[in-house]
Chains A and B, each alone.
Chain A
Amino acid sequence: MSAILSQLKSLDRRIVYGALLAAVLLFPLVVRNDYWISTLVFFGIWAILGLSLNIIVGYAGLFQLGHAAFWAVGAYTTAILNIYLKVPILVCLPISALVAAFFAIIISRPILHLRGDYLCIVTIGFGEIVRLFLYNDPFKITGGVNGLRGIARPSIFGLEINTPTAYYYYVLFFVIITILIMQRLENSRLGRAWNYVREDEMAAEAMGIDTVKVKLLAFAIGAAWAGVAGNIYASRYTVIAPETFSFWNSVVMFCIVVLGGSGSIPGVFVGTLGMILLPEVLKSVLSPILEWRLLIFGIAMVVMMIFRPEGLWPHSRYRLELRREETSS
């Protein structure tokens, strides 16, 4: 009996994932509603952002509340290259990722040794400094408060990605690639190193792990992926402004990772579902009480942490960590 059940369970999972994949692939063809397709594109971009932050917060356990800064660097790099130098969007993509990674390395190097809460405040600080820089525009290239406009759309072999449906598959492609790369990272030596550093940094050092390099890589790779998301975002909406790269959005990303489930890829999707898709879906239902949205959100954050601090769909390892800490003292 139990043998049959366990067989069913594993079959179950593959069927579920298969069905999910089919649904995702066929969605725009079945539901010919531009609004929902666009919403899913938006969701996709945020999922990539969540996955990028997951590296820093989830895998490496570093407090990063200024992630929007990396997103901004990617988006603005793309915008500036494309508007002023007419560099095609797809060429801007790897450049933006590299610039973001480089930027991350520079600013994180001096602060890597900081303890959790301090790191938290400092990353907030960096996030705000970047945003102020974009807003004040001292070198006259960021467009200041109005941001930059007129960013082109990506084109592959002459075919321009212009419609919501085209964007859907474009973003879906990136999301899938991101998931695959994240899975690889998770199970690689680097991924394991991140785990050690997160759980006990001193022991990790004692085991010969270069914690500085490992943490730097977390920041760099996380930033690079945020840069990718920035490139996609910039070309999708053709207008970028400092508002978008606010502390608030960094908080949203942070919550996506923590509330969805630190360190787990499905967790990030659940988090993005709750933070991005759910409010969009509920917009019409919530319209009389739109102003309450943030209050409810704040309360939800507190409640979630009290009752399920490991998130909705956590990595099993992280759940063990948390529960173990609770019972030990």
Chain B
Amino acid sequence: MGIVLQQLLNGITIGSFYALIALGYTMVYGVLKLINFAHGELFMSGSYLGLTIISILIGAGLGGEALLWALAGVFIVVMAIVAGLGVGIERVAYRPLRRAGRLPAVVSALGVSIALQNAVMLIYGPRYRVYPKGVIPAIYWQVGGIQISLLQVFVLILSLILMATLYYFIHYTRLGTAVRATALDHDVARLMGIDVDAIVRIIFIIGPALGAAGGIMVGLYYGRINFTLGWGYGLKAFTAAILGGIGNIPGAMVGGMLLGLFETLAAGFIPQGGAWKEAIVFLILILILVVRPTGLLGERVAEKV
């Protein structure tokens, strides 16, 4: 029993990462009907940037408590930079193609993904990079037979805060309503006086920022990052978004958690599950799209008839 609970805890932690990244996909898709292939790479860039800044801080002599407080700053800075990157990408690679049809948009998104991944590789090198140890102290608690680490608590709480903030924004603010309106119909939204381009920019700020936060957390949690990280997480997060219902924000959160849980349980209890993890995730994706394409919480996007 203890093992199952432990795996559940792990599953939720991983699920938080997927949820944060999935939110980025779902928001962009909801408004633009575009799969932002580059999103996974933005997540990965976040984790590299986080590494750089934390290393600089440590190099400048920061440590212990001071470093923990500085961590908040690190998150904000990295999220801002990656958000800027996201907006830039939208402006350069996606906006000119908004009317050009699906195919060119997909190719462009793929191109951005490849370019970004390799840019990071060229800057940081192809080797694995290691996050400094003990930024978040390695404290463990034994609760009812399972081990919880401070790191896990940190990840779960921070993810919860970010997701709750986003939910509040989307559902209880005027700007959030404008976002939802644009997702429903660009032209009508424009008629209502909403600046669609500005909304798109906001989407590309929030989505990548959340992804970047996830990236830093992955770096802190696992300690080891690589420029190929974006690909694996990206595809799984996208599956999570579809699982929850693409375009649906609570759906992305739920989808992410579920996927994390499922993946961990499958790997832990199916023989040789570890090797087939990715295949299972893809199968889930395909099954959902075939059986229930609107996802668990229902697609919030009108189907093109």
| Shortest Cβ distance from A111 into B: residue | B290
> What's the nearest-Cβ distance from chain B to residue A54, in Å?
13
Stretch from B65-73, B209-217, B262-270, B281-289 contacting the other chain: B281-289
| Shortest Cβ distance from A258 into B: residue | B107
Partner pick for A121 among B34, B35, B304, CB 8 A cutoff: B35
A31 sits at the interface (CB 8 A) = no
B99 sits at the interface (CB 8 A) = yes
B193 sits at the interface (CB 8 A) = no
Contact B33 A302 (CB under 8 A): no
| Shortest Cβ distance from A307 into B: residue | B96
Contact A132 B279 (CB under 8 A): yes
Contact A295 B293 (CB under 8 A): no
Contact A306 B289 (CB under 8 A): no
Contact A309 B100 (CB under 8 A): yes
Partner pick for A129 among B102, B118, B283, CB 8 A cutoff: B283
A298/B111 contact (C-beta < 8 A), A114-B293, A132-B279, A262-B103 known: yes
> What's the nearest-Cβ distance from chain A to residue B243, in Å?
12
Contact B100 A299 (CB under 8 A): no
A17 sits at the interface (CB 8 A) = no
B175 sits at the interface (CB 8 A) = no
Contact A259 B107 (CB under 8 A): yes
User: Which of A125, A309, A322 has the most C-beta atoms of chain B within 10 angstroms of its own C-beta?
Assistant: A125
Contact A329 B99 (CB under 8 A): yes
| Shortest Cβ distance from B96 into A: residue | A306
Whole-angstrom CA separation of A110 from B291 in the bound complex: 9
Partner pick for B108 among A118, A294, A305, CB 8 A cutoff: A305
Partner pick for A136 among B34, B276, B304, CB 8 A cutoff: B276
Instruction: Tally chain B residues at the interface, Cβ within 8 Å.
Output: 49
B97 sits at the interface (CB 8 A) = yes
> What's the nearest-Cβ distance from chain B to residue A267, in Å?
13
A302/B108 contact (C-beta < 8 A), A117-B102, A125-B285, A128-B278 known: yes
Chain B residues with CB under 8 A of A14: none
Contact A325 B101 (CB under 8 A): yes
> What's the nearest-Cβ distance from chain A to residue B123, in Å?
10
Contact A306 B118 (CB under 8 A): no
Chain A residues with CB under 8 A of B275: 132, 136
Chain B residues with CB under 8 A of A202: 305
Contact B283 A306 (CB under 8 A): no
**Binary interface encoding of chain A residues 27-43 relative to chain B, with 1 for a CB under 8 A from any of its CBs, else 0:** 00000000000000000
Contact A117 B238 (CB under 8 A): no
Chain B residues with CB under 8 A of A219: none
A295/B119 contact (C-beta < 8 A), A306-B97, A326-B100 known: yes
B170 sits at the interface (CB 8 A) = no
**Binary interface encoding of chain A residues 108-143 relative to chain B, with 1 for a CB under 8 A from any of its CBs, else 0:** 001100111110111011101100110010000000
B92 sits at the interface (CB 8 A) = yes
Partner pick for A118 among B105, B283, B289, CB 8 A cutoff: B289
Contact A111 B102 (CB under 8 A): no
5 contacts between A and B (CB under 8 A): A121-B285, A251-B110, A298-B117, A298-B118, A306-B97
Q: A129-B283, A259-B107 are in contact. List 4 more A-B contacts (CB 8 A).
A: A121-B285, A128-B282, A294-B114, A306-B108
Report the 10 A-B pairs with minimum CB-CB distance, sorted nearest first: A301-B111, A298-B115, A298-B114, A309-B104, A125-B282, A295-B118, A302-B111, A305-B104, A305-B108, A294-B118
Contact surface of A with B, Cβ cutoff 8 Å: 57, 61, 63, 110-111, 114-118, 120-122, 124-126, 128-129, 132-133, 136, 202, 251, 254-255, 258-259, 262, 291-292, 294-295, 297-302, 304-306, 309, 322, 325-326, 329
